[in-house]
Homo-oligomer: A and B are copies of this chain.
Amino acid sequence: MYNFQSDYLEGCAPLILEELIKANTKQSVGYGEDEYCAKAASLIKDTIDNPNADVHFVPGGTPCNILAVSSALKPYEAVIAAESGHIAVHETGAIEATGHKVITTEGVEGKINPLEVIRVVEEHTDEHMVKPRMVFISNPSEYGTIYSLEELKLLRKICDKYGLYLYMDGARLGSALASKDNDVSFKDLGELCDIFYIGGTKNGALLGEAIVINNDDLKENFRFMIKQRGQMLAKGRILGITFKTLFKNNLYIELAKHANKTADALRYVFDAYNVKQYVETSTNQVFVILDNKVVERLKKNYLFTPWGKYDENKTICRFVTSWCTKEEAILEFAQNLKEALR
- Give A residues with C-beta under 8 Å from B: 2-3, 5-6, 8-12, 14, 17, 20-21, 23-31, 59-63, 65-66, 70-71, 74-76, 78, 89-94, 96-102, 104, 127-131, 201-202, 206-207, 221, 223-235, 238, 303, 324
Nearest 8 interchain pairs by C-beta: A11-B24, A76-B224, A8-B234, A63-B230, A62-B230, A92-B228, A93-B101, A127-B223
Distance in Å from the Cβ of A239 to the closest Cβ of chain B? 9
A127 touches B227 (CB 8 A): yes
B24 touches A3 (CB 8 A): no
Distance in Å from the Cβ of A329 to the closest Cβ of chain B? 10
Distance in Å from the Cβ of A1 to the closest Cβ of chain B? 9
A128 touches B91 (CB 8 A): yes
Q: Give chain B residues whose Cβ lies under 8 Å from the Cβ of A2.
A: 27
Q: A17-B24, A75-B93, A127-B224 given; name 14 further pairs at CB < 8 Å.
A: A3-B27, A9-B27, A63-B230, A70-B75, A75-B97, A76-B97, A91-B227, A92-B128, A93-B99, A93-B100, A94-B229, A97-B99, A101-B102, A130-B228
A227 touches B28 (CB 8 A): no
Q: Give chain B residues whose Cβ lies under 8 Å from the Cβ of A70.
A: 75
B26 touches A11 (CB 8 A): yes
Q: Which of A12, A26, A233, A324 has the most CB of B within 10 A?
A: A233
Distance in Å from the Cβ of A94 to the closest Cβ of chain B? 5
Question: Of all chain B residues, which has the CB nearest A74?
Answer: B221
Chain A interface, DSSP helix/strand/loop, else mixed: loop
Determine the distance from Cα of A224 to Cα of B10 in the docked complex, in whole angstroms. Answer: 24
Answer whether A29 and B11 are a contact pair too, CB < 8 Å, given A228-B75, A230-B231: no
Determine the distance from Cα of A90 to Cα of B131 in the docked complex, in whole angstroms. Answer: 11
Q: Give chain B residues whose Cβ lies under 8 Å from the Cβ of A202.
A: 234
Distance in Å from the Cβ of A113 to the closest Cβ of chain B? 17
Which of B3, B8, B76, B225 touches A228 (beta carbons < 8 Å)?
A: B76
Distance in Å from the Cβ of A202 to the closest Cβ of chain B? 7
What are 14 of the A-B contact pairs (CB < 8 Å)?
Answer: A5-B29, A11-B25, A11-B235, A63-B230, A66-B230, A74-B221, A75-B93, A76-B224, A76-B227, A94-B227, A127-B226, A130-B224, A201-B233, A207-B234
B30 touches A225 (CB 8 A): no
B230 touches A8 (CB 8 A): no
B23 touches A20 (CB 8 A): no
Determine the distance from Cα of A59 to Cα of B207 in the docked complex, in whole angstroms. Answer: 10
B235 touches A8 (CB 8 A): yes
Answer whether A225 and B75 are a contact pair too, CB < 8 Å, given A17-B21, A17-B24, A63-B230: yes
Determine the distance from Cα of A17 to Cα of B230 in the docked complex, in whole angstroms. Answer: 24
A201 touches B75 (CB 8 A): no
Q: Give chain B residues whose Cβ lies under 8 Å from the Cβ of A228.
A: 75-76, 91-94, 97, 130
A75 touches B71 (CB 8 A): yes
Distance in Å from the Cβ of A124 to the closest Cβ of chain B? 9
A76 touches B91 (CB 8 A): no
Distance in Å from the Cβ of A32 to the closest Cβ of chain B? 10
